[in-house]
Homo-oligomer: A and B are copies of this chain.
Amino acid sequence: MTVSSSPRADARRNRDLVLAAASTAFAERGLGVSLDEIAALAGVGAGTVHRHFPAKERLLEEVVAARFASFRAAAAGLTENKRPAEAFFGFLVAAITRIAVDRALAQVVEDGSGPWARVAEEVTSVVGDLLAAAQRAGGVRADISVAEVMSLLVGCVAMERRSAGTRMTVLVLDVLRNESNETRCAVCGEPIAAPATGRRPRYCGGACRQKAHRVRTSG
């Protein structure tokens, strides 16, 4: 009579339990976890896992998709960033770190297996948008394709899985930066976007130019 907890609600809850358990198990133990282990972790029977996810790969796909959905959300906030290059790099670093921390995710991404294929398109699209914006702003080299960025992402994941710490990741991602276009002010260090036309300014503004001049002519 009330808003009866319909059979569907139960099913939904179980589905979510399994998904959560699988997420944890995959992250910690890699693709090798057995479904029994996942079922036990979820507190359901093995059959229930199969009812919701007819094959192991389906389950994996959903887990992967769920992870990337959170990336998408993160990206959404970034696209409105005033400095597109920072949005782009910020997203990449965050994504790489999150993937590298998850054994199964890393495996899936590294060998480009099925589950990855399902989400790759979307991720590629998100990255593509961020990349395009960053390139338009001059912060990222224009001769880089989104496919190349995706490859770089995979490489950084592999790298970070071996050596904890993001130092190398940051270093490597720098290859995407447009050094001749978004250089920093020689005096205060602020980034300077390349102008649409004309010579690239060396200083962020009059104040710094003056300072530099004074230094040069001092004495």
A41 adjacent to chain B (CB < 8 Å): no
| Minimal Cβ-Cβ distance residue in B for A176 | B171
Residues of B within 8 A of A107 (CB): 111
| Minimal Cβ-Cβ distance residue in B for A103 | B111
Residues of B within 8 A of A189 (CB): 186, 202
A65 adjacent to chain B (CB < 8 Å): no
A187 to B148, CA, bound (A): 31
A 164-201 to B, binary, CB cutoff 8 A, 1 in contact else 0: 00011001101100000000001101000000000000
| Count of interface residues, chain A, beta-carbon cutoff 8 Å | 38
A157 adjacent to chain B (CB < 8 Å): yes
Listed stretches A72-80, A86-94, A209-217; interface member: A209-217
| Nearest chain B CB to A8 CB, angstrom units | 12
Residues of B within 8 A of A157 (CB): 155, 158
Among A110, A147, A151, A187, the most chain B Cβ lie within 10 Å of the Cβ of: A151
Q: Is the CB of A154 within 8 A of B148?
A: no
A160 to B161, CA, bound (A): 17
A2 adjacent to chain B (CB < 8 Å): no
Q: Is the CB of A168 within 8 A of B186?
A: no
A 126-170 to B, binary, CB cutoff 8 A, 1 in contact else 0: 000000000000000000000110111011111111110001100
| Nearest chain B CB to A35 CB, angstrom units | 14
A187 to B151, CA, bound (A): 34
Residues of B within 8 A of A103 (CB): 111
- Known interface pairs A155-B156, A215-B215; A148-B163 also in contact (CB < 8 Å): yes
A150 to B186, CA, bound (A): 34
Contact among B111, B154, B219 with A215 in the assembled complex (CB-CB below 8 Å):
B219
| Minimal Cβ-Cβ distance residue in B for A214 | B219
Q: A112-B162, A172-B175, A215-B219 are in contact. List 9 more A-B contacts (CB 8 A).
A: A110-B161, A147-B163, A151-B168, A152-B168, A154-B158, A155-B172, A174-B175, A217-B219, A218-B218
A-to-B contact residues, CB < 8 Å: 30, 103, 107, 110-112, 147-148, 150-152, 154-163, 167-168, 171-172, 174-175, 186-187, 189, 202, 211, 214-219
